[in-house]
Amino acid sequence: MPSNGSSNKFKVACVGRAFGPEAEAIIRDVAPAEFDLTFSVETGEAAHPLVHESDFILVTMPVTEKLIQESPKLRLVHKWGIGVDKIDLEGAERQGVPVAITAGSNAGAVAEHTLLLILGALRRISLADRSMRAGEWIYTELRPLCRKLSGKKVGILGFGNIGKNVAQRLQGFEVEIIYHDPYRASEEVEKKLNARYVSFDDLMAESDILTLHCPGGEANHHIINARSLARMKRGSVLVNCARGDVVDEQAMVAALNSGQLLSAGLDAFEPEPLPASSKLLAMDNVVLTPHTAGSVLDNVAPVALHAFRNMQRVINGEPIPRSDLVVVPSKPRQFAGSDAGAQRA
């Protein structure tokens, strides 16, 4: 039975900027009958009372150990999407609360956006659009700045669900695909995706276009920095649909100004939102989007259903799929009428 006692439904707080009115309507439409949903676009203290009273949270906001500790009914922290760099994972472990993601649920959308940014950066689509809106016709001026995708070597840093989806979508573009990841893909997958495994240094040195799909956080903090950018071919292209902290922005701006990088397509920044003082905003060789690679309306229902199914697994004492579990507490919280089976998965 629900832990809130006074209700026959489980309380779910959906908190963060991902939940606008259109998305909220879809999520409510697909929500299981046993869930009572509350939404907030707040990401700070104003959202905390909703979390404190909830059995489950579905979030894009930061989640601290203090917030978890002050939410005694909380059974599961569920991320909308896959990035958990804003969730205190060690704190969740100490509080006995599992953390889950919707693994693979937005991989297709992010992969499509990656192709958009690759092509947009190669063809200077932002500059072309802005100049036309300003009444200009820079046909001759654009030619020296633009490049085609076919015939290029595309490097993928991070070969999980999204990286593989990018490789799959590149198949028709007549490119060579190389990748680096801590875990090499099987020979079968490499053959299917025409992808070749290389070292990190070789990825930097060989790529004409480098697209990032690795996790953020301490392990990959500024993995793209002055040193790694210097190893890249002069006139190469950088695309980031991962996390802002994997790129040293100052070093990237210097590489864009010097011509070491021809252009960049960026969907993730450090910090976010991108501050008005960022030099990137004034650069014609950069295509910018506000961390929207996975934000498409027709993917809302699948992501929501994915998360709700994991919540139902917790209620029923069933295991959450290992691909979705980020934190499995060694001493999970116990609730009346539940054997916490999902937390032991």
The pLDDT assigned to 18 comes to 81
How many CB atoms within 10 Å of residue 301?
A: 14
> Is residue 345 over pLDDT 80?
no
pLDDT band at 310 (very low <50, low <70, confident <90, very high): very high
Amino acid symbol at 134: A
What does the pLDDT average to over 229-237?
98
The pLDDT assigned to 42 comes to 79
Residues sharing a CB contact under 8 Å with residue 218, sequence separation 6 or more, in sequence order: none
pTM: 0.90
Sorted by where each begins, the domain ranges of the chain are 10-105+296-344, 107-288
Angle at 26 between CA 113 and CA 289, to 5 degrees: 25
Total count of residues recorded for the chain: 345
The pLDDT assigned to 337 comes to 55
What does the pLDDT average to over 21-47?
92
Q: CA dist 324 to 59, 86, 291, 313, Å?
A: 15, 17, 22, 12
pLDDT band at 46 (very low <50, low <70, confident <90, very high): confident
Q: d(Cα 70, Cα 58) in Å, to the nearest integer?
A: 17
Could you tell me if 59 and 82 are in contact, meaning their C-beta atoms sit under 8 angstroms apart? Answer: no
Q: d(Cα 96, Cα 208) in Å, to the nearest integer?
A: 46
Among the residue ranges 46-55, 140-149, 235-244, 284-293, the one predicted with the least confidence is 46-55
Q: Is 104 left (phi over 0), alpha (psi -120 to 50) or beta?
A: left
Kindly tell me the sign of the dihedral angle through the C-alpha atoms of 30, 81, 62, 18.
negative
Among the residue ranges 194-203, 317-326, 331-340, the one predicted with the least confidence is 331-340
- Residue 25: Cβ-neighbour burial (10 angstroms; 0-12, 13-18, 19+): exposed
State the helix-helix crossing angle for 300-316 and 21-30, rounded to 10 degrees: 40
Angle at 309 between CA 305 and CA 312, to 5 degrees: 140
Could you tell me if 121 and 287 are in contact, meaning their C-beta atoms sit under 8 angstroms apart? Answer: yes
pLDDT in tens, 258-285: 999 999 999 999 999 999 999 999 999 9
> Is residue 336 over pLDDT 90?
no
What does the pLDDT average to over 21-42?
95
Among the residue ranges 52-66, 154-168, 326-340, the one predicted with the least confidence is 326-340
Residues annotated catalytic, as ranges: 243, 272, 291
- Mean pLDDT, the chain, as a whole number? 94
pLDDT band at 286 (very low <50, low <70, confident <90, very high): very high
CATH 1.10.150.120 fits 107-288, yes or no: no
* pLDDT greater at residue 301 or residue 1: 301
**In 3D, which of 257, 213, 211, 204 has the Cα closest to residue 233?**
204
pLDDT in tens, 77-126: 999 999 898 899 999 999 999 999 999 999 999 999 999 999 999 999 99
Q: Is 96 left (phi over 0), alpha (psi -120 to 50) or beta?
A: left
pLDDT band at 36 (very low <50, low <70, confident <90, very high): very high
What does the pLDDT average to over 287-298?
95
Indicate the SS3 state at residue 103: coil
Among the residue ranges 18-22, 34-38, 153-157, 167-171, the one predicted with the least confidence is 18-22
Q: Which residue has the tokens 């595309």?
A: 154
Q: d(Cα 333, Cα 345) in Å, to the nearest integer?
A: 14
Structural class in CATH, domain 10-105+296-344: alpha beta
The pLDDT assigned to 335 comes to 77
> Is residue 298 over pLDDT 80?
yes
The pLDDT assigned to 238 comes to 99
pLDDT in tens, 113-160: 999 999 999 999 999 999 999 999 999 999 999 999 999 999 999 999
